[in-house]
């Protein structure tokens, strides 16, 4: 069972799959475990969050289509013990490509069984919806974790996700274990508590004790392209992720013990926190960068995307259009000036015609 492969999956979008994957991965690494993240989402969010550019030459796509081997694709991250099989933008086209291949639902299983990923844990960040990529993840994994956000639609997400897992358990991967359900982006209000209680009463011990609270620092961390456990190790959200990681490790230790496999003890929670604090210190320039500077950087990136390969005239035109979109009052003033100028030109024109007619004796 080495490495222990876990897929983070829910068909619903925006419920913290990527945040859970990257924070679990850094927390495991901080506990002294060696980890590889597989980013199966063409959005590349976990790739970016671990400091890797999705513009890299090779990624998961090349693995899936057989154009590269695992050791040509796997990259180190800014964190020791943690590597990544990154997503690249080309991954968006994988569905069509895989539909042409035989046994396409087992592509990842075959890749992982033919290569040696020397690590303790593989964490797979799945894209939302049930496509060929999540099916590949579930087929290759030992276990699956479902993040759930307690909204009135949370149940719908779960009710669509559980049958997909069952489908894989009945065919592609009989050993796939539902390791747990994790409440994420948890609000502190009555409705949330009610929904959480309902789900806990249905799923019992499958639900982790740890609940990840909604915390704006998670969004700040995402803007700085860091997992919150590194960005602010002692924040509430980080502590909750750390608690979840400890539970995850406990559950895995029990599963391994049942299978007669020995796993090495992780370092203590306090030591893991020290490592996260050290990483935070090493990345201080990102953590401390003032908000204004980050916004400026984002604007610069956007400008490059918008104006990148246009002629100076097109750029000036676009700049003017955007300027007026941003400054509607200026547009009104500009139109007023144009109107006055036109009136003046017309006025001068009429007067000019009259003067000319007088000069040649027509009036
Ligand atoms: N605990 C939290 N508190 C506040 N915001 C959070 C929290 N967890 C995640 N978020 C934010 O919610 C948004 C969605 O999170 P994330 O990208 O992890 O979800 P996802 O399920 O991977 O989304 P997708 O389905 O698009 O892949 C992000 O902006 C993230 O920063
Ligand atoms: Mg995601």
Query: Taking 70 as the threshold, does the pLDDT of residue 242 lie above it?
Result: yes
Query: Taking 80 as the threshold, does the pLDDT of residue 31 lie above it?
Result: yes
Range of lowest pLDDT (159-168, 228-237, 256-265, 338-347): 338-347
Ligand 1 geometric centre to CA of 33 (Å)? 25
Query: Taking 90 as the threshold, does the pLDDT of residue 156 lie above it?
Result: no
Tell me the average pLDDT across 179-200: 91
Pocket-testing residue among 16, 44, 147, 236, ligand 1, by greatest number of atoms within 8 A of Cβ: 16
Ligand 1 geometric centre to CA of 237 (Å)? 12
pLDDT tens digit sequence for 250-303: 999 999 999 999 899 999 999 999 999 999 999 887 776 556 666 666 666 666
- What does the pLDDT read at residue 291? 60
User: Which residue CA neighbors atom 27 of ligand 1 most closely?
Assistant: 127
Range of lowest pLDDT (32-41, 63-72, 267-276, 298-307): 298-307
CA 16, CA 41: separation in Å to the nearest integer? Answer: 13
Dihedral class, residue 123 (left if φ above 0, else alpha if ψ from -120 to 50, else beta):
beta
Ligand 1 geometric centre to CA of 142 (Å)? 24
Between residues 100 and 336, the one the model is more confident about: 336
Q: Are 35 and 120 within 8 A, CB to CB? A: yes
Ligand 2 geometric centre to CA of 350 (Å)? 66
| Size (the chain), residues | 363
Tell me the average pLDDT across 184-188: 91
Longest CA–CA span in the chain (Å) reads: 115
Sequence-separated (6 or more) residues with CB below 8 Å from residue 289: 224
Tell me the average pLDDT across 35-48: 94
Q: Are 292 and 299 within 8 A, CB to CB? A: no
Dihedral class, residue 32 (left if φ above 0, else alpha if ψ from -120 to 50, else beta):
left
Sequence-separated (6 or more) residues with CB below 8 Å from residue 301: none
- What does the pLDDT read at residue 116? 79
Range of lowest pLDDT (14-28, 37-51, 97-111, 308-322): 308-322
CA 99, CA 72: separation in Å to the nearest integer? Answer: 24
- The strand pair at 35-39 and 121-125 is best described as parallel
Query: Taking 60 as the threshold, does the pLDDT of residue 153 lie above it?
Result: yes
- What does the pLDDT read at residue 300? 66
- What does the pLDDT read at residue 323? 79
Query: Taking 90 as the threshold, does the pLDDT of residue 79 lie above it?
Result: yes
Between residues 154 and 86, the one the model is more confident about: 86
Ligand nearest to the CA of 214: 1
Sequence-separated (6 or more) residues with CB below 8 Å from residue 28: 35, 120, 121, 123, 245, 248, 249
- What does the pLDDT read at residue 306? 66
155 three-class SS: helix
Between residues 350 and 203, the one the model is more confident about: 203
- What does the pLDDT read at residue 315? 79
Q: Between 236-258 and 17-30, two packed helices, what is the crossing angle to 10 degrees?
A: 70
- What does the pLDDT read at residue 305? 65
Q: Are 207 and 200 within 8 A, CB to CB? A: yes
Domain boundaries, the chain: 4-288, 296-359
**Phi, psi dihedral angles at 181 (to 5 degrees):** -115, 130
The superfamily CATH assigns to domain 4-288 is: P-loop containing nucleotide triphosphate hydrolases (3.40.50.300)
Q: Which pLDDT band holds residue 344 (cuts at 50, 70, 90)?
A: confident
Among residues 135, 185, 174, the alpha carbon closest in space to that of 7 is found at 135
Please list every protein residue whose CB sits less than 6 Å from any atom of ligand 1: 13-19, 41, 43, 45, 127-128, 184-185, 212, 214-215, 218-219, 222, 237
Tell me the average pLDDT across 301-311: 68
pLDDT tens digit sequence for 42-62: 889 999 999 998 788 899 999
Q: How much helix, strand and coil, in percent to the nearest 5, is found in the chain?
A: 60, 10, 30
Q: Which pLDDT band holds residue 363 (cuts at 50, 70, 90)?
A: low
User: Which residue CA neighbors atom 25 of ligand 1 most closely?
Assistant: 13
Q: Give this prediction's pTM.
A: 0.82
Ligand 1 geometric centre to CA of 146 (Å)? 14
Ligand 1: which atom is nearest the Cα of residue 125? 22
Mean pLDDT of all residues in the chain? Answer: 89
pLDDT tens digit sequence for 101-151: 788 999 999 999 888 788 999 999 999 988 899 999 999 999 999 999 988
Q: Between 154-170 and 190-203, two packed helices, what is the crossing angle to 10 degrees?
A: 20
- The strand pair at 82-85 and 35-39 is best described as parallel
Tell me the average pLDDT across 174-202: 92
9 three-class SS: coil
CA dihedral 322, 324, 327, 333 (to 10 degrees): 170
Q: Which pLDDT band holds residue 64 (cuts at 50, 70, 90)?
A: very high
Residue 356, Cα to own-chain centre: how many angstroms? 72
Q: Are 21 and 107 within 8 A, CB to CB? A: no
């Amino acid at each position: 069972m080495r490495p222990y492969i876990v897929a983070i999956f829910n068909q619903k979008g925006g419920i913290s799959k990527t945040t859970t994957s990257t924070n679990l991965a850094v927390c495991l690494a901080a506990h002294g475990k060696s980890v590889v993240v597989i980013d199966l989402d063409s959005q590349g969010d976990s790739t970016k969050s671990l400091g890797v550019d999705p513009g890299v030459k090779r990624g998961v796509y090349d693995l899936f289509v057989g154009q590269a081997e695992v050791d040509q694709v796997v990259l180190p991250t800014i964190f020791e013990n943690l590597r990544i099989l990154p997503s690249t933008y080309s991954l968006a086209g994988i569905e069509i490509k895989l539909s042409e291949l035989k046994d396409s639902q087992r592509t990842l299983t075959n890749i992982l069984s033919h290569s040696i990923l020397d690590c303790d844990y593989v964490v797979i960040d799945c894209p939302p919806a049930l496509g060929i990529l999540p099916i590949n993840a579930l087929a290759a994994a030992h276990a699956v974790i479902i993040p759930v956000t307690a909204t009135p639609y949370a149940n719908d997400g779960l009710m669509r996700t559980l049958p997909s897992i069952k489908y894989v358990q009945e065919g592609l991967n009989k050993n796939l274990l539902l390791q747990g359900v994790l409440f994420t982006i948890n609000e502190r209000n009555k409705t949330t508590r009610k929904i959480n209680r309902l789900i806990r009463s249905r799923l019992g011990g499958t639900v982790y004790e740890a609940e990840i609270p909604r915390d704006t620092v998670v969004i700040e961390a995402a803007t700085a392209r860091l997992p919150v456990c590194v960005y602010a190790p002692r924040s509430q959200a980080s502590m909750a992720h750390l608690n979840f990681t400890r539970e995850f490790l406990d559950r895995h230790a029990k599963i391994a013990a049942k299978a007669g496999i020995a796993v090495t003890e992780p370092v203590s929670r306090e030591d893991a926190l020290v490592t996260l604090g050290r990483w935070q210190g090493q990345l201080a320039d990102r953590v401390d960068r003032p908000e204004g500077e980050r916004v400026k950087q984002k604007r610069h990136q956007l400008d490059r995307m918008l104006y990148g390969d246009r002629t100076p005239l097109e750029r000036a035109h676009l700049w003017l259009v955007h300027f007026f979109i941003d400054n509607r009052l200026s547009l009104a003033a500009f139109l007023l000036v144009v109107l006055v100028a036109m009136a003046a030109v017309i006025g001068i024109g009429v007067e000019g015609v009259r003067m000319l007619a007088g000069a040649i004796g027509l009036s």
